[in-house]
């Protein structure tokens, strides 16, 4: 199963190394990881998606991460009401005919074309993991040259409402 874990950590050199070190030493599979500063410049937030067999594994992982001196707080937010977003850049092969087709296809996803050349263009999409996956699937037939994804970043909502999995086109 996939779980979304967030960790707030001291913004010091080597912290990411400590966190990923714990995960690889204890054989946790990281699917994606994203890191950035928080509102406090001394604190960073790491969001990672891990794949585990059992929910007990997650308890062990959060405890091990919490043991790191530079880690402030670890949460498994998967079952909470969360806002989780990811950004993807997709470079596609294009020609005159496909170009406009791509434009109309990406429109409902609120994705945008951020670079165009003679025979390719780059689409930028942000949203939930499922939305990003869905768009990538739709674009695949056009010929994907390259994909770059940030991985999920997330936090919990202040008002607890379910994020409907189907509502990715918002």
Partner 1 sequence: MHIQKVNEISGAQILIESIKAESVELIFGYPGGAVLPIYDVLYDANIRHILTRHEQGAIHAAEGYARISGRPGVVIATSGPGATNLITGLANAMMDSTPLVVFTGQVGTATIGTDAFQEADIIGLTMPVTKHNYQVRDARDIPRIVKEAFHIATTGRPGPVVIDLPRDIVQTKTKKNEEKVLYLPGYQPTYEPNQGQIEKLINAIKRSKKPVILSGGGVLISRAAKELTNFADKYKIPVVTTLLGLGTFPASHDLFLGMGGMHGTFAANSAMFECDLLISIGARFDDRLTCNTNSFAKNAVIVHIDIDPAEIGKIIKTDIPIVGDAKRALNSLLNANFEYECNKDWLDNLMSKKSNYPLWYTEEDNLLRPQRVVETIHKYSDENTIVASDVGQNQMFAAQFYKHDFPHKWVSSGGLGTMGFGLPSAIGAQFADPEATVIAILGDGGFQMTIQELGVIQEYGLPLKIFILNNNALGMVRQWQESFYNKRYSNSLLESQPNFSKVAEAYGIHSMTINNSNNVEAEIQLALAYKGPIVVDCRVTQYEKVLPMVPPGRGINEMEGIANEADNYSNSIK
- Comparing CB distances to partner 1, the nearer of 60 and 93 is 60
Question: How near is the Cβ of 24 to partner 1 at its closest, in Å?
Answer: 10
Residue closer to partner 1 by CB (options 14, 141) is 14
**What's the sign of the alpha-carbon dihedral 81, 83, 86, 92?**
positive
Q: Tell me if 127 sits within 8 A of 85, measured CB to CB.
A: yes
Give least dist CB 78 to partner 1, A.
19
Q: CB of 89: closest distance to partner 1 in angstroms?
A: 31
Judged by the rule CB under 8 A, the positions of this chain that interact with partner 1 are 9-10, 14, 17-18, 21, 25, 56, 59-60, 63-64, 66-73
DSSP 3-state assignment of 72? strand
Shortest approach of partner 1 to residue 21 CB, angstroms? 6
Nearer to partner 1, 17 or 158 (CB): 17
Smallest distance from partner 1 to CB 48, Å: 17
SS3 at position 119:
coil
Nearer to partner 1, 17 or 166 (CB): 17
Instruction: Find out whether 24 and 61 touch, Cβ atoms under 8 Å.
Output: no
**Alpha helix positions (H), 13-54:** 15-25
- Is the Cβ of residue 59 or residue 146 nearer to partner 1 in the bound state? 59
127 to each of 18, 56, 101, 151, 169, how far by Cα in Å? 29, 29, 21, 11, 8
CA distance 1 to 4: 10
């Amino acid at each position: 199963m996939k779980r979304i874990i967030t960790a707030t950590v001291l913004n010091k050199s080597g912290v990411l190394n400590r966190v990923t070190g714990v995960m690889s030493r204890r054989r946790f599979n990281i699917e994606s990881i994203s890191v950035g500063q928080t509102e406090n410049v001394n604190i960073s937030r790491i969001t990672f998606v891990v794949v585990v067999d059992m929910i007990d594994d997650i308890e062990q992982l959060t405890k091990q991460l919490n043991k790191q001196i530079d880690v402030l707080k670890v949460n498994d937010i998967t079952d909470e009401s969360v806002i989780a977003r990811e950004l993807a850049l997709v470079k596609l092969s294009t020609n005159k005919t496909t170009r406009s087709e791509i434009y109309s296809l990406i429109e409902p996803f609120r994705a945008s074309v951020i670079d165009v050349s003679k025979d390719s263009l780059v689409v930028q999409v942000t949203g939930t993991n499922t939305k990003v996956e869905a768009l990538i699937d739709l674009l695949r037939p056009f010929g994907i040259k390259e994909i770059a994804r940030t991985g999920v970043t997330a936090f919990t909502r202040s008002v607890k409402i379910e994020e409907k999995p189907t509502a990715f086109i918002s």
